[in-house]
Amino acid sequence: MSRGFDSHFGPPSQPISVAEFLQEANSALLSGSLTNASWEQLTPEYDNAAEAEISGSISELKSSLEQVWDNPVLSAHVLRQHESTVAAVRGQADAPAPKGRKRKRYVAPEGSESAPEVLQLQEKLDAVNLKCWGLTVESALCMRAAKNSDYNALDAPKKTGTGVLRTINHGDVGATRNSTPDSLRSPSPNATSYLNAVISLTVYNRITYLPSCLTRSSQHAVLSTQTLDDLLRVIPCASSNMPIEHLDAEGDISGYNLPDQTGEHSGSLFCIEGLVYGDRSENTDYAEKLIAHFQKLPEGKRPKITKASTSASETAFSALTLRIHQPYWILHQGNCEHFFVIDQIRHGLFHFNSITTLNVICRLAHPSDPPSGYPLMLHLTPTLQDLCRACGKVPAVHSIVGDMRLGESPCLLCAPCWRTMGPPKNDEDVMVVPLVIHP
Ligand SMILES: [Zn+2]
Ligand SMILES: [Zn+2]
């Protein structure tokens, strides 16, 4: 069930032309119509009160949480309450017991539940009017243990490119708001290139042993000025790090070389909204190959796709029309598949809650948003690596083929264990194959 939830996307949004979105946002920005007229009508007192509430409420929430969490008696009580609610929901829904180790039962120490501070807290919690966050029988469908793809191997956004977020000085915005010169009122033809949009997207891979299900692999933020190839270059993928085989005169494999990190992706294509963007290599455009392949299918079964007029390296995101929450298909390195889903399209400078009501700003781009280094990698699922078969402690880096001393072939070893083994006796039959290095 939870696998199914993870591989289910949508409903998709309406198609959004990135170029039109930018044009609308930029012209609204330049004409100063970003502030809603109703804000102007507020009295200064109301304005101040609203601002105090906005800036105060978070710290109030935070401190009340910390008060409970920092007190061992109170936090233990809250934890026990949660555990028993979860157990009750699971029991009612007849959900199978979670796999793995049995859940610990939290038993309250004698008298702790009747401590005055606990009773006081419970009274306060019972008085909360917000009831929609409670757990119901239906919640059992969405309850699962944490998975590997829930964790992030990155502790901060990682700069993986050279894209720069173009912004304008705050002075410029103020000037256009107060006394907008006529020249700025209607956006100039190059207004769309004035600022860029930030598009965040998530990359999904098929689960090897369950190919109809997908799992989250990474999340990226690209600029609308960047191309599909710019994205392809930064998607973490084992196929892009495959060691290169060395062939001898007879065509047998004689050794391996580590791949050169040129970021070149032979045999690649993107399939977005019925259009295929190929790699336009001299004689083998992958888009043409795919379409030729589909021609072999019976007519009723052919996917309705056509070749785009530009290749992936020529296509910037600003030239695309995208739907949010709609999975798109990537094929590269010959036959390696990925899917990507647009999570958000936002203006580089402002957050809008909707592209049709531009006069409402959700929030300003956060000052901590990195100004350069796009595409940024926002999330990376930790890679589960095979451990060394000898020590069982560190990830293996070699696959040893044909060494009679190891008792199995191939045998995965770490570098120190393989060094400690010394040279093999049947030297000429042994091959040391480097394993893929994960980013
Ligand atoms: Zn791949
Ligand atoms: Zn080892």
Ligand at shortest distance from the CA of 398: 2
Q: Which residues neighbour 258 within 8 Å (Cβ) at sequence distance 6 or greater?
A: 243, 244, 434, 437
Question: Over the stretch 109-143, which tens digit does the pLDDT of each residue have?
Answer: 777 778 889 999 999 988 988 888 788 888 888 88
228: tokens are 């599909």
Closest CA to 228 of 305, 290, 314: 314
Predicted confidence at residue 261, as pLDDT, reads 59
Predicted confidence at residue 109, as pLDDT, reads 74
Q: Ligand 2 mean position to 155 CA, how many Å?
A: 28
pLDDT level of residue 375 (50, 70, 90 thresholds): very high
The DSSP bridge pattern shows strands 244-247 and 372-380 to be: unpaired
| Contact criterion met (CB below 8 Å) for 2 and 144 | yes
Q: Ligand 2 mean position to 243 CA, how many Å?
A: 21
pTM: 0.76
DSSP at 186: S
Flag whether pLDDT at 266 surpasses 60. Answer: yes
Ion ligand 1: residues, Cβ under 5 Å: 237, 239, 336
Q: Which residues neighbour 219 within 8 Å (Cβ) at sequence distance 6 or greater?
A: 200, 201, 202, 203, 343, 377, 378, 379, 380
Closest CA to 339 of 271, 439, 279: 271
Q: Ligand 1 mean position to 392 CA, how many Å?
A: 28
| Contact criterion met (CB below 8 Å) for 302 and 209 | no
363: tokens are 């929030």
Q: Ligand 2 mean position to 348 CA, how many Å?
A: 47
pLDDT level of residue 368 (50, 70, 90 thresholds): low
Ligand at shortest distance from the CA of 400: 2
Flag whether pLDDT at 147 surpasses 60. Answer: yes
pLDDT level of residue 30 (50, 70, 90 thresholds): low
* Rounded Cα–Cα distance for residues 224 and 357 (Å): 21
The DSSP bridge pattern shows strands 244-247 and 253-257 to be: antiparallel
* Rounded Cα–Cα distance for residues 12 and 14 (Å): 7
Q: Ligand 1 mean position to 205 CA, how many Å?
A: 8
DSSP at 130: -
58: tokens are 């978070």
Closest CA to 198 of 409, 436, 438, 378: 378
Q: Ligand 2 mean position to 22 CA, how many Å?
A: 53
pLDDT level of residue 102 (50, 70, 90 thresholds): low
Flag whether pLDDT at 291 surpasses 60. Answer: yes
Predicted confidence at residue 168, as pLDDT, reads 53
Give rounded-to-5 percent helix, strand, coil for the chain.
Answer: 35, 25, 40
Cβ neighbour number for residue 324 with a 10 Å cutoff:
19
Q: Ligand 2 mean position to 400 CA, how many Å?
A: 12
| Contact criterion met (CB below 8 Å) for 276 and 290 | yes
Ligand at shortest distance from the CA of 386: 2
* Rounded Cα–Cα distance for residues 331 and 338 (Å): 6
pLDDT level of residue 103 (50, 70, 90 thresholds): low
| Contact criterion met (CB below 8 Å) for 205 and 35 | no
Predicted confidence at residue 90, as pLDDT, reads 84
| Section 194-201 average pLDDT | 82
Predicted confidence at residue 152, as pLDDT, reads 93
What Å distances lie between residue 182 and 31, 175, 186, 188, CA to CA? 9, 12, 7, 11
* Rounded Cα–Cα distance for residues 395 and 398 (Å): 10
Flag whether pLDDT at 330 surpasses 70. Answer: yes
Q: Ligand 2 mean position to 304 CA, how many Å?
A: 51
Mean pLDDT estimate for the chain? 81
Length of the chain equals 439
Predicted confidence at residue 181, as pLDDT, reads 39
Flag whether pLDDT at 187 surpasses 60. Answer: no
Strands (E), 86-129: none
Q: Ligand 1 mean position to 240 CA, how many Å?
A: 7
Q: What is the DSSP string of 20-35?
A: HHHHHHHHHHHHTTTS
| Section 51-65 average pLDDT | 77
Predicted confidence at residue 381, as pLDDT, reads 94
Predicted confidence at residue 98, as pLDDT, reads 61
The DSSP bridge pattern shows strands 269-272 and 275-277 to be: antiparallel
Q: Which residues neighbour 381 within 8 Å (Cβ) at sequence distance 6 or greater?
A: 148, 149, 151, 152, 153, 215, 216, 217, 218
Q: Ligand 1 mean position to 185 CA, how many Å?
A: 46
